[in-house]
């Protein structure tokens, strides 16, 4: 019976990444996310939302570089270690990575510009873009007022005037 237990432990240790990976990367985060949704604290919501963003990025990385990662024998263990660091609340790894790497990358409009609409700065120095301003205008004044403003802008460009008098825009 002792040799059967030893063989079992050997199999478990040899496949530890395959067994522990889903528990640390999916099962526990899923459980913790449901508990966070049910709690009133926004702190745990942010922790788990941040985790899922990072988990998605890791998954996209793996899908993109799957053929290369097959050749790196320590990748499953590195991924498991990284996932544990992100998940275990003592380390707050998800919050650290998000604050120091992900947030600055997406918060700085010079780094990546997915849309074709150029960004501008409003009077308070906060990033704002044309789409946000248009959505705000439509919410405040309605679709019809927005269409009238567009028509006036088209007419004023044809006549050489660039002034818009509608709604302060």
Helices (H), 65-168: 66-69, 75-87, 93-97, 103-107, 130-141, 143-159
pLDDT in tens, 105-153: 888 766 544 554 455 554 454 445 676 777 777 788 888 877 777 777 6
pLDDT higher than threshold 90 for residue 168: no
pLDDT higher than threshold 60 for residue 165: no
Task: Judge contact between 133 and 169, C-beta under 8 A.
Answer: yes
pLDDT in tens, 34-88: 999 999 988 888 889 999 999 999 999 999 999 999 999 999 889 989 999 999 8
CA distance 50 to 59: 14
pLDDT for res 24: 81
Query: 127 forms bridges with which residues in the sheet?
Result: 121
End-to-end CA distance of the chain: 82
Q: Any idea of the CA torsion for 122, 124, 128, 130, to the nearest 10 degrees?
A: -20
Using 50, 70 and 90 to split pLDDT, how confident is the model at 2? low
Task: Judge contact between 83 and 89, C-beta under 8 A.
Answer: no
Task: Give, as one character, the DSSP assignment of residue 115.
Answer: S
CA distance 155 to 160: 9
pLDDT for res 45: 86
Task: Judge contact between 45 and 36, C-beta under 8 A.
Answer: yes
């Amino acid at each position: 019976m002792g040799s059967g237990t030893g063989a079992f432990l050997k199999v478990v240790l040899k496949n530890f990444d395959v067994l522990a990976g889903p528990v640390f990367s999916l099962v526990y985060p899923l459980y913790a996310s449901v508990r966070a949704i049910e709690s009133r604290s926004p702190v745990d919501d942010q922790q788990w939302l941040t985790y899922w963003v990072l988990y998605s990025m890791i998954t996209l990385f793996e899908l993109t570089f799957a053929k290369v990662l097959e050749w790196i024998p320590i990748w499953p263990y590195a991924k498991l270690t990284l996932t544990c660091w992100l998940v275990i609340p003592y380390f707050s790894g998800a919050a650290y990575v998000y604050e120091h790497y992900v947030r600055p990358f997406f918060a700085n409009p010079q780094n990546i510009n997915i849309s074709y609409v150029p960004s501008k700065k409003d009077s308070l120095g906060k990033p704002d873009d044309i789409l946000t301003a248009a959505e705000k205008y439509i919410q405040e004044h309605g679709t019809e007022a927005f269409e009238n403003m567009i028509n006036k802008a088209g007419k004023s460009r044809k006549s050489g005037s660039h002034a818009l008098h509608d709604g302060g825009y």
